[in-house]
Amino acid sequence: MPFALSDITLSSPAFADKQTIPTRHTGDGEDTSPPLRWTLTPQGSQSFAVICHDPDAPLVSANGTYGFVHWVLYNLPAGTNSLEEATQAGTPGQNNFGHVGYGGPMPPEGHGLHRYYFWILALNQNLDLEPGLTQWEFLQQAEPHIIGMNRLVGTYQRD
């Protein structure tokens, strides 16, 4: 499946789409992952994954990718439709801070408003992937199995 939005919906009780992410879910606060909920999952969903990416970060890597990855979480089983705050569910991947798990928004001071894309991916099988994959390592293995995806966009800026 090509990367195209589907009917799956992603929301958070902590912030609305295109609204400010609470400080507690950022590097300036408690740095805990926000609670997430999803509905309208595609028929045949066998597992889910979540990625948080900041396309506004002023970073470009040698392979031409851009932005900053804050969270890669996968191996969420079929039937899962939510994550609690500071979740321990699933298998954490590596973020661009260089550690596994969630690393909240923390744009450079004075850099203005950044957008944080929280992606939900529905897969047609459980891949049972090992911990610590980067976003690109995960996507390389998951892409042929993605049957639905959508996003929730939060914003944050440091003064």
pLDDT in tens, 16-61: 999 999 999 999 999 999 999 999 999 999 999 999 999 988 765 6
- Listed residue (81, 71, 76, 31) closest to 51, CA to CA: 71
Q: Which amino acid is at 72?
A: V
Residue-range domain boundaries for the chain: 9-156
d(C-alpha 39, C-alpha 95), whole Å: 26
Please say if the pLDDT value at position 63 is more than 60.
no
Please say if the pLDDT value at position 109 is more than 90.
no
d(C-alpha 123, C-alpha 121), whole Å: 6
Residues 6+ apart with CB under 8 A from 140: none
pLDDT (0 to 100) of residue 146: 95
pLDDT (0 to 100) of residue 56: 87
d(C-alpha 76, C-alpha 48), whole Å: 5
Residues 6+ apart with CB under 8 A from 44: 124, 147
d(C-alpha 112, C-alpha 51), whole Å: 22
114 and 57 Cβ atoms separated by less than 8 Å = yes
Please give the class, per CATH, of domain 9-156. Answer: alpha beta
pLDDT (0 to 100) of residue 64: 52
pLDDT (0 to 100) of residue 65: 61
The pTM score is 0.92
Q: What are 66-100's pLDDT values in tens digits?
A: 788 999 999 999 999 999 999 999 999 999 999 99
